[in-house]
Structure 1
Amino acid sequence: MSLSTESSLFVGNSILLTINMSNAISMNWLNSTEGESLLHHFYNRSTNKRRFYGILERPPLPSSIEEVTYKIFIIGRSGVGKTSVVSRLAGNVGYSGYFETNGIKKTTIYWPVKIWDKVVLFKLHFWDTSENSIKKYNHILPVSFVILHQACKDKVDAVCTVFSFDDASSFNDVPQLMNSMSAIAEKPGNIVIGTKYRAWSSLAVTDTQVNEFEEKWKVKIIRIDTHKSVTRPEIFDCSYQLNWICETLWDRDQEFISKQVVQV
């Protein structure tokens, strides 16, 4: 079986356009005329705030735009900012303070990307829980933080490990947490996010440590300042982070289909 760069394949609920996965997603596409023409579906221009959609709602985009759905499980020690990360990516810029997540919280984020010559709408389901909830609900969540497929209907497509740039020990936990995911048969993608990042400031986790980690684990660390105030539309402020998350999910699917092709 051979594929060209224009090939379109489906695996589960994911559209796979090409086996060549390098630079598939255009990181600056939202700044283009085409990208800006779709943005009014995602935020209110008068307030520069994100639009939120209910369970049965979605952005009113043209029917020609395909939608792919992914489930992302958030892990990391208590207090590093897991809930703040999801809140920030969802467009809740004003979120502040620390409140431990009670039970399991699910947040859905819609995000459009340009993959080669095709616009794809990513529907990202973020699942967030706390260490106390994991202990409380250990009948559905084992201590290794892996969601049991019998308890959660949808499979986990990616595991997002969160640490704080102000807490070196939380960064040191990342390899162990990633290794705890390696036994999952579906091989979810690895996403790593560092919170409380402040450029040109002295941080407990240095750029040298980040570079060494990325080189060893071949995983991009996504930096985010969850308390950053912005004057431009917030959708541009988190576009880099969301694009990288979508890129990771896309690459994970491309790797899967490439292995299937080799087996054929």
Structure 2
Amino acid sequence: MDELEDPELELEPNWLSTLAGRRYLNCILHKNRRRTFTILESPVLPPSSYAATIRYKLFVSGKSGVGKTALVAMLAGVSIPPTHYETRGTEVTTVYWPAKPLTSIDPVMFQLDFWDCGDGALKKFDYLLPSCKENVDAILFLFSFTDCSSFEELPAQMSRLLSPGEENVLRVVIGTKYDLVTQADVTEEDVKAFERTSGLQVLRVGCRPGEAELGVSRVAPTLNSLVARLWRRDRIAARATRRSRTPIAFLRRKKAISGPGVGLHPAKQPPHPRAQYPRGGRGAGPVVAACPRPPAAIGCRPPLPSHAAS
């Protein structure tokens, strides 16, 4: 997969600014601000709206002080801590984001679970890293534009966290503190050279304390890029599975699903391997006709032949 291709080509451009997209966006807002969802909460769609929910697990990795916690806070719409402190243990933050993929008939509500673990805690407790990587869909490798050492450690960090058998895990490189131009130690030439050698596109974000009130316009490019990458990864994996004639159940590793296909023709395309559809919606599963069990299966003897009965 060529990561240098624009991943946002997977999404309908400027969909959130349309009337249809605004209805879905209002589900994650409260008084024009981002709404915080607990582990038992989820967005409630209007009766006339419909969307499947697809859940992903993302592990945020990077050197201490690069802005992992600030990035997750900005994407979740909560206040960014004014002072730096290292995360103690693991923090999981859930972010809901609606989007309209071009290969899907209906919009999709993406559920992104960001796993943030402090660098010191990872080195102290050996069980934290396997827990963060278990069933992970993407790893976000962060570096700071104001810290040249965090950028130079990216290749070693990638090789340490990803084993040769984990090609299906999406790799996303994000440069934080991009807005601090006067303090930048990493130049654009360095970033472009890294993109050419690694084949990965670097996302650039700026995280400053108190900027959570700016609304969704600041986080929309980053979230759209993340969900587009995840959608393209699953679409390519599903296409490769169909070509190899492997049952589609191979892709259904974590969730039982039902619903329409991800292509333009639902009758011909398999459903998305992660989609979860509301009960009673268009995603109702196929009806399997009940067939009577053979007599031996219900504890009854089969009927005797006619000559034996006489």
Which TM class, normalised by the smaller chain length?
0.7 to 0.9
For the pair 1:134 / 2:122, whether they are aligned, the reply is yes
After superposition, where does 1:38-57 map in structure 2 within 5 Å? 38-45=24-31, 48-57=32-41
More strand by share: 1
CA deviation after TM superposition for structure 1 residue 56, in Å: 1.1
1:235 aligned partner: 216
Distance in structure 1 (CA, Å) of the matches to 2:209 and 2:226: 20
Choose the corresponding residue for 1:196, options 177, 195, 206: 177
Distance in structure 2 (CA, Å) of the matches to 1:203 and 1:135: 28
- What TM-score do the two structures reach when normalised by structure 2? 0.69
Query: Contact between 1:27 and 1:243, CA under 8 Å: does it hold in 2?
Result: no
For the pair 1:251 / 2:224, whether they are aligned, the reply is no
2:149 aligned partner: 169
Choose the corresponding residue for 1:59, options 16, 36, 43: 43
**Residue aligned with 1:175, SS:** helix
Q: Which runs of 5+ in 1 are unaligned?
A: 1-20, 142-146
CA deviation after TM superposition for structure 1 residue 84, in Å: 0.7
- What TM-score do the two structures reach when normalised by structure 1? 0.80
Higher relative contact order (CA 8 A, sep 6+): 1
CA deviation after TM superposition for structure 1 residue 110, in Å: 0.5
1:81 aligned partner: 67
For the pair 1:205 / 2:186, whether they are aligned, the reply is yes
Cα deviation, 1:110-155, whole Å, max 9, x if unaligned, reads 01111014310000001111122112220x14xxxxx43xx56950
The CA RMSD measured in Å over matched residues stands at 2.4
Structure number with larger C-alpha Rg: 2
CA deviation after TM superposition for structure 1 residue 176, in Å: 1.8
1:113 aligned partner: 99
More helix by share: 2
Query: Contact between 2:82 and 2:209, CA under 8 Å: does it hold in 1?
Result: no
Counting aligned pairs with the same residue, the percent is 35
Over 3 Å counting, the alpha-carbon distance change for 1:22 and 1:76 in structure 2 is: closer
**Residue aligned with 1:160, SS:** strand
Cα deviation, 1:187-237, whole Å, max 9, x if unaligned, reads 210111111112764621111222222232222211111107659751111
Q: How many residues align?
A: 234
1:214 aligned partner: 195
Moved more, 194-203 or 58-67: 194-203
Distance in structure 2 (CA, Å) of the matches to 1:262 and 1:30: 34
